[in-house]
């Protein structure tokens, strides 16, 4: 392990706003986020594949009456988000380091009011569909976590993932797509992203890609 990675691993171990393997809450947090982590009854929004957590931090600043969890498998990225959230005093933002396929271990049915999936890897090869974070199995799991009437949001730079996700959401029987655009910045939905640009969004907009956005409601 590089010294840089070691630094981030130690950082997460000490960070109160990070839940990861080895910490007591890791095995106890399911169904207990409000009482045991945020210490308030406010709605919880989960950002999947959060990277450095720009979305959770950005939304956490705008909505102090909501709680945000950034979830990612990469400890170094989470450590950076954790440090920024702490520096900003955002007690409504936390991080979970775990693989998304294990999310049922951390969230109970209807525990979340919204899920955001922001610039996930599109996994374009057919043989990687099992890793694609909007495949039918993942969508079904997200639907279990979201409260009735709650929302699922996807932002992506990938035309492939946008078309695939629209198709899968439409066929899911669990979600209804309420808004979508292939060019968020030129659409009336631009306010929906609250001016928050993540690391990957910045890279892809600079390269000239349009940002695609889908908002789907739980049926």
Ligand X SMILES: C[S@@+](CC[C@H](N)C(=O)[O-])C[C@H]1O[C@@H](n2cnc3c(N)ncnc32)[C@H](O)[C@@H]1O
Residues that are catalytic: 121
Task: Quote the DSSP letter at residue 40.
Answer: S
Take residue 211 and report the two structure tokens written for it. 């940002």
Take residue 50 and report the two structure tokens written for it. 């959060």
Structural contact between residues 53 and 42, judged by C-beta atoms closer than 8 angstroms: no
Q: Which residues pair with 95 in a beta bridge?
A: 18, 70
Q: Min. distance of Cβ 10 from ligand X in angstroms?
A: 19
Q: Which residues bind ligand X (CB under 6 A)?
A: 49-51, 72-74, 77, 99-101, 118-121, 198-201
193 is in an annotated binding site: no
> What is the Cα–Cα distance from 44 to 3, expressed in whole angstroms?
34
- Which residue number, 5 or 40, has a Cβ lying nearer to ligand X? 5
Structural contact between residues 29 and 35, judged by C-beta atoms closer than 8 angstroms: no
- Which residue number, 35 or 159, has a Cβ lying nearer to ligand X? 159
Q: Min. distance of Cβ 146 from ligand X in angstroms?
A: 18
Q: Min. distance of Cβ 149 from ligand X in angstroms?
A: 25
- Which residue number, 41 or 192, has a Cβ lying nearer to ligand X? 192
102 is in an annotated binding site: no
- Which residue number, 7 or 219, has a Cβ lying nearer to ligand X? 7
Q: Min. distance of Cβ 181 from ligand X in angstroms?
A: 18
Compute CA distances 39 → 9, 36, 82, 213, whole Å: 26, 6, 18, 32
> What is the Cα–Cα distance from 57 to 162, expressed in whole angstroms?
24
Helix-helix angle 75-87:54-62, to 10 degrees: 20
Question: Which residue is at the shortest CB distance from ligand X?
Answer: 51
> What is the Cα–Cα distance from 23 to 86, expressed in whole angstroms?
18
- Residue 170: Cβ within 10 Å count: 12
Q: Which residues are annotated as a binding site for substrate?
A: 157, 198-201
Q: Which residues are annotated as a binding site?
A: 47, 72, 121, 157, 198-201
């Amino acid at each position: 392990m590089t010294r840089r990675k070691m630094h981030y691993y130690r950082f997460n171990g000490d960070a109160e706003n990070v839940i990861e393997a080895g910490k007591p809450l890791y095995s106890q947090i399911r169904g207990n986020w409000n009482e045991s982590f945020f210490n308030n009854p406010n709605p919880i929004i989960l950002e999947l594949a959060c990277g450095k957590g720009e979305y959770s931090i950005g939304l956490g600043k705008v909505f102090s009456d909501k709680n945000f969890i950034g979830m990612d498998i990469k400890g170094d990225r989470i450590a950076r988000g954790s440090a920024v959230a702490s520096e900003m005093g955002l007690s409504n933002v936390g991080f979970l380091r775990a693989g998304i396929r294990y999310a049922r271990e951390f969230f109970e049915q209807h525990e979340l009011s919204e899920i955001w999936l922001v610039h996930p890897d599109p996994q374009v090869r057919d043989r990687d569909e099992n890793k694609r974070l909007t495949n039918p199995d993942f969508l079904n799991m997200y639907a279990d976590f979201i409260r009735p009437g709650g929302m699922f949001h996807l932002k992506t730079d990938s035309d492939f993932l946008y078309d695939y996700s629209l198709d899968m959401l439409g066929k899911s029987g669990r979600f209804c797509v309420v808004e979508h655009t292939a060019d968020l910045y030129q659409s009336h939905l631009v306010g929906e992203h609250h001016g928050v640009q993540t690391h990957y969004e910045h890279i892809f907009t600079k390269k000239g890609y349009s940002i695609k956005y889908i908002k789907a409601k739980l049926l």
